[in-house]
Amino acid sequence: MNKYDVVVIGGGPAGLAASKSAHKNGAKTLLIEREGELGGILKQCIHDGFGLERFKEKLSGPEYIYNETEELPLELEISLLTYVTNITKTEKGFELILVNRQGINKIETKKIILATGCRERTAKQVSIHGTSPAGVLTAGTAQYYINILGEMPTKTCVILGSGDIGLIMARRITLEGGKVIGVYEAKSTPSGLTRNIVQCLEDYQIPLHLSHTVTKVFGTNRLEAVEISKVDENMQPIKGTEKVVDCDALILSVGLIPENEIAESIGVRINPKTKGPFCDQTLMTSLYGVYCCGNALHVNDLVDYVSESGEIAGENAAKKAEKEERKLIEVKTNQKIMYTVPSLIDLTCITKKTIFYFRSTENYEKQKLVIYGNKEIIFSKKYHVVKPPEMERVEIDLSSVKNLQEIKVILEDE
Amino acid sequence: MLSKVVAKLNRKIQLINPDVNLSLKEDCALLTGSSHNWDEIIMIGRMVAKTKKFYGVINDIKLKDFVEPKMRVPSIRDDIYEGMKVDVLVIGGGIVGAAIAREMTKYNLEIALVEKEDDLALHASSRNDGCIHVGIDLNSKTKKLEYLRRSVLVYEKLAQDLDVEYDKVGQIIAFKSNWERLIYLLLKLKIKKNGIQETKFLNREELFKREPNLNKIAKFGVLFGTGACICPYNMTIALAESAVMNGAKVLLSTAVLSMEVKNKEIISVKTNRGRIFPKVVINAAGVFSDIVAEMAEDRFFSIHPRRGTNAILDKKAKDKLMFQSTTIYGGLKKAAKRYTKGGGVIPTVEGNTLVGPTAIETPYREDFATNREEINQIFSKHKNNAPHLHQKDIITYFSGIRAATYEEDFIIQKGKWTKNIVHAAGIQSPGLTAAPAIAEDVAKYTCDILGNVTKNEQFNPIRKGIIRVNKLSYEERNKLILKKPDYGQIVCRCEEISKGEIIDALHRPIVVPTIDAIKKRTRAGMGRCQGGFCQPLVIEIIAKEMKTNRENINKKGDGKILLHPTKGENHE
């Protein structure tokens, strides 16, 4: 049986960064990827805008992956087209059962890093009713068809949800000669980044309809039309506002859900706010030896932060002792903060640099972020505006606080 | 005698709606006229049926300002089956039609089954809750109970022969107050009367040991050990494949359009793919069974469609739900008014939880659209049984149409007027359960009509299904992968389905190369991402195996997924 120090599950940007950093820090590492190629979802993201933070230039998804994989160390083991069918906790660590074209393989590892990414919410998870014809698909699937297979799944479509992939696909479909009738968003504010609203919709005169949703689909074998309704402040459809729009596809960009089924199977606790595991600042989950990074941890807007979290997880997984006492405290927040990552702090491994990611619950203007350690201010930063779709990142030094017992992250009016 | 009943009923009907008239067609009740209200039409039909004085109830009351949509028919028009001669033509590829076709292959006969859709079990036989019922809710004099009782005795063996998973989980009725022990006594009488085996009283402790997540208000319960669950469309596909292996023909995308009837005998059956000349026709046409009976000049009943909606929950939700199908007793009055068992929180063989179904009368025979209200309705209803039930766990939902008659019972018999037809009509719950025994009787009636039928000594009852690799032991799975590496390549990540299984599904006695058909046969795309990741991969596998362009791979019917290549793609 093969034995490893660290096994990374998932070969997208998070897993790549995690495995490289675990390997660099001296761990015998295996990277497992279920597809035939590394890169995860970036393989199909042919638009640019990736890598400004990490590589200081605007790259396409495949270019970003090229940069990430260019100097992969030879000793880093990679297993492609491989699926993890089972994980069990053992005395010494974990036992994994792998499936691939060579057969069933059992391996042992001291640490696991989960870099399993996320999946898209489907039509029925957002309560779309009616028939079930061809032509109702998620933006990611549409992107795969167009960018990987070179096939158009639509001529005239409606996009539901203003998530970033939806906006990107509105532009992509338009460039390919398709017609996007409009982007409909149930919330009263857009879900995607402002730059995408401008560059993907406004530049192409694609209308964005806020506080509207698709309530029904029509068509037996192929989609023929959708029913659109206005929604109230609780996002419930208002009766009498229904309008039928003819189209051959409904493309959904209605949210991403971190994929943590493997994590849950071994008892990792999931944060209901992020749908990813509760983690401390080393990105270790509630289960000793199991780390999580990238979009499996929480859905990021920038791949640069995904890679960063992979590096943090990889380094810590490689360095951390096999068994050690942890002293976890919860990161407290106020109402204006939707969540923070990390959500826990392990007091036994405080260092000079701790990275915090957070999102606000609503759009707020003129805000101040204040981080308290034992009621003393250790960090503060002003924001002209904070919005839920735009994740913020700060670096703080927790080592300055003596005998840290409590940590609070507060967003308040300036 | 009958005319007196008619006169009396007509007086009642006049009070409800003077535009409606009841007359006789021989000994059948015939309702004509019109109404603005569909529920009223149903109510009048039921009122006439309740007298039990008529051979059948034909309800032709028109709903005003309503144009019934024409039966959906495949777009294909050719004559590849023109002139085909068969002994037996089964109309309908649902569970009953498939079971009959297989049963008939036990005899030396030429058999064809026609199905208008592009796959088997596309409607009521897949859009149901997969319950093998115990029969406690049925009236003891019904055909429903008779066929259910006979079928339950043979079902497990049949499922085993056909390699279809049969999960005998049991069903429970729980009671929420101690005075309901009186009802329990009545229930015991009914158990005896209906001949139900394997029942057991459960005290509170035993009840919660089996069902820890049941609403704590429950005080005691009754376990019905014969209750089981099965995958209804896999059972149908298995029966049809077995029929084909034993010599029957299954003709998909073939709709019956009309019949030529002479001297009370069907001469030919016109389809969109040519005329077929059968000796006997079997009507297993589900929600269209009265229309088929009309074509055969043998309509003595009417179908009134009743929609049911079910929701399927994520496998993760199972831990907080229940393992058996459990219903908390809802009170006498409510039970008496129901026309269906009322559904419940039901496990599926695959480990998901199903909630439902509803029961809504509708004039549309093929309206499978779901709606928000019905989902809300089933959740608020079953929350009483399972307090942890939550809509956020939903991964999918669907609606089906029950083919109810006004008598609310099955019609299993030879034609009333036409000599060479056998009806298996009016099939609704517990049709999935009752199918094996129905098939047996229909086969017997058919042989009677044909005369001089000999047994097929070569009949092989065994059919092997597609291997499910993630259900094998690691050792067996490893061996299999070494033989065929495609079994080691996972395509559907949510349900852990391999490329090998998808290829297998394309090499079966009945091959349907669509995304939906592959999904049903292998479960690729059935999981929580609903095919978001694997659909493109499945398209590629099907296109390669069928040696065609991926733009020709449809979701179902002629529902294209990919329309044309992108600008940059050069397709010669």
| Residue B183 at interface with chain A, using a CB cutoff of 8 Å | no
ipTM (interface predicted TM) = 0.95
Give whole-number Cα distances, B217 to B175, B187, B211, in Å: 8, 20, 13
- Distant-in-sequence, close-in-space partners of A343: CB < 8 Å, separation ≥ 6: A271, A274, A278, A279, A330, A331
Contact yes or no for B536 and A215 at CB 8 A = no
Using alpha carbons, select from A3, A1, A10 the residue that is nearest to residue A32.
A10
Confidence at residue B351, expressed as pLDDT on a 0 to 100 scale: 86
Contact yes or no for B394 and A154 at CB 8 A = no
d(CA A142, CA B535): 11
Whether the CB-CB separation of B518 and B535 falls below 8 Å is answered with no
Contacts of A97 in chain B (CB under 8 A): 474
d(CA A241, CA A266): 47
To 10 degrees, what angle do helices B95-104 and B232-245 make?
Answer: 20
C-alpha distance from B533 to closest chain A C-alpha (Å): 7
> pLDDT tens digits, residue range B372-386?
999 999 998 888 888
- B26-35, B122-131, B314-323, B347-356, range with greatest mean pLDDT: B26-35
Who among A103, A149, A221 is closest to B556 (CB)?
Answer: A221
- Distant-in-sequence, close-in-space partners of B452: CB < 8 Å, separation ≥ 6: none
What CATH architecture applies to the domain A122-254?
3-Layer(bba) Sandwich (3.50)
* Confidence band for B346, pLDDT divided at 50, 70 and 90: confident
Whether the CB-CB separation of A305 and A381 falls below 8 Å is answered with no
Contact yes or no for A124 and B394 at CB 8 A = yes
Contacts of B561 in chain A (CB under 8 A): 134-135, 153
Single-letter amino acid code for the residue at B508: R
- Distant-in-sequence, close-in-space partners of A162: CB < 8 Å, separation ≥ 6: A183, A185, A187, A190, A191, A192, A197, A208, A210, A253
Which residues on neighbouring strands pair with residue A394, listed in sequence order?
A356
Confidence at residue B334, expressed as pLDDT on a 0 to 100 scale: 42
Who among A81, A104, A141 is closest to B535 (CB)?
Answer: A141
What is the pLDDT of chain B when averaged over all its residues?
Answer: 93
Q: Which CATH superfamily groups domain A1-120+256-320?
A: FAD/NAD(P)-binding domain (3.50.50.60)
Contacts of A127 in chain B (CB under 8 A): 372, 375
d(CA A131, CA B480): 39
**Ordered structural domains, chain B, with CATH:** 2-63 (3.30.1340), 84-124+233-303+408-450 (3.50.50.60), 470-552 (1.10.10)
The pTM (predicted TM-score) of the whole model is 0.95
Of all helices (H) and strands (E), which one includes residue B285? none
**DSSP state letters, B190-220:** HHHHTT--SEEEE-HHHHHHH-TTS-TT--E
B331 has pLDDT over 60: no
- Distant-in-sequence, close-in-space partners of B70: CB < 8 Å, separation ≥ 6: none
d(CA B511, CA B504): 10
The parts of chain A modelled with pLDDT lower than 50 are none
B335 has pLDDT over 50: no
| Residue B390 at interface with chain A, using a CB cutoff of 8 Å | no
C-alpha distance from B480 to closest chain A C-alpha (Å): 8
Contacts of A130 in chain B (CB under 8 A): 369-371
For residue B536, whether the previous peptide bond is cis, meaning omega lies within 30 degrees of 0, is: no
Confidence at residue A18, expressed as pLDDT on a 0 to 100 scale: 98
The pair of three-digit structure tokens given for residue A299, joined into one six-digit string: 């859905």
- The pLDDT of B268-289, averaged and rounded, is 98
> pLDDT tens digits, residue range B177-213?
888 888 888 889 999 999 999 999 999 999 999 888 8
Contacts of A153 in chain B (CB under 8 A): 561-563
Interface of B with A in 392-431 (CB under 8 A): 394-398
B340 or B118: which leads in pLDDT: B118
> pLDDT tens digits, residue range B472-496?
999 999 999 999 999 999 999 999 9
Confidence at residue B142, expressed as pLDDT on a 0 to 100 scale: 96
Contact yes or no for A220 and B370 at CB 8 A = no
Contacts of A125 in chain B (CB under 8 A): 394-395
Contacts of B395 in chain A (CB under 8 A): 122, 124-125
DSSP code of B406? T
Contact yes or no for A151 and B530 at CB 8 A = no
| Residue B205 at interface with chain A, using a CB cutoff of 8 Å | no
Q: CA angle at residue B87 from B83 to B90, to 5 degrees?
A: 90
Whether the CB-CB separation of B469 and B498 falls below 8 Å is answered with yes
Contact yes or no for A150 and B565 at CB 8 A = yes
> pLDDT tens digits, residue range B86-98?
999 999 999 999 9
Contact yes or no for B369 and A100 at CB 8 A = no
B572 has pLDDT over 50: no
Confidence at residue B412, expressed as pLDDT on a 0 to 100 scale: 98
Confidence at residue B261, expressed as pLDDT on a 0 to 100 scale: 98
| Residue B478 at interface with chain A, using a CB cutoff of 8 Å | yes
* Confidence band for B341, pLDDT divided at 50, 70 and 90: low
C-alpha distance from B364 to closest chain A C-alpha (Å): 14
| Residue B370 at interface with chain A, using a CB cutoff of 8 Å | yes
- B367: nearest CA partner in chain A: A131
- Distant-in-sequence, close-in-space partners of B542: CB < 8 Å, separation ≥ 6: B502, B506, B513, B514, B515, B518, B550, B553
C-alpha distance from B156 to closest chain A C-alpha (Å): 30
C-alpha count within 13 angstroms, C-beta hemisphere, residue B422: 29
Whether the CB-CB separation of A109 and A4 falls below 8 Å is answered with yes
B133 is catalytic: yes
Whether the CB-CB separation of A166 and A180 falls below 8 Å is answered with no
Which contacts of B370-378 are long-range, i.e. CB under 8 A and separated by 24 or more positions? B370/A129, B370/A130, B370/B309, B370/B397, B370/B398, B370/B399, B371/A129, B371/A130, B371/A216, B371/B309, B372/A127, B372/A129, B372/A215, B374/B307, B374/B309, B374/B399, B375/A127, B375/A129, B375/B309, B375/B311, B378/B309, B378/B310, B378/B311, B378/B343
* Phi-psi category of residue A26: left, alpha or beta, with phi > 0 → left and psi -120 to 50 → alpha: left
Contacts of B566 in chain A (CB under 8 A): 146, 150-152, 176
- B550: nearest CA partner in chain A: A151
Contacts of B72 in chain A (CB under 8 A): 220
C-alpha distance from B553 to closest chain A C-alpha (Å): 11
B73 has pLDDT over 70: yes
Spot the catalytic one: B36, B123, B133, B390: B133
Contacts of A263 in chain B (CB under 8 A): none
Interface of B with A in 29-68 (CB under 8 A): none
Who among A131, A176, A216 is closest to B567 (CB)?
Answer: A176
- A218: nearest CA partner in chain B: B369
- A236: nearest CA partner in chain B: B372
Contact yes or no for B485 and A129 at CB 8 A = no
What backbone torsions phi and psi does residue B184 show, to the nearest 5 degrees? -60, -40
Whether the CB-CB separation of B265 and B127 falls below 8 Å is answered with no
Contact yes or no for A151 and B566 at CB 8 A = yes
A interface mutation test: which of B471, B566, B572 has the most A CBs within 10 A?
A: B566
B interface mutation test: which of A1, A100, A144, A221 has the most B CBs within 10 A?
A: A221
Confidence at residue B336, expressed as pLDDT on a 0 to 100 scale: 37
The pair of three-digit structure tokens given for residue A365, joined into one six-digit string: 């203007």
Contact yes or no for B559 and A132 at CB 8 A = no
Who among A34, A124, A149 is closest to B395 (CB)?
Answer: A124
Strand (E) positions, B321-392?
325-328, 344-347, 353-356, 360-361
Contact yes or no for B481 and A99 at CB 8 A = yes
B338 has pLDDT over 50: no
* Confidence band for B323, pLDDT divided at 50, 70 and 90: low
Contact yes or no for A124 and B396 at CB 8 A = yes
B326 has pLDDT over 70: no
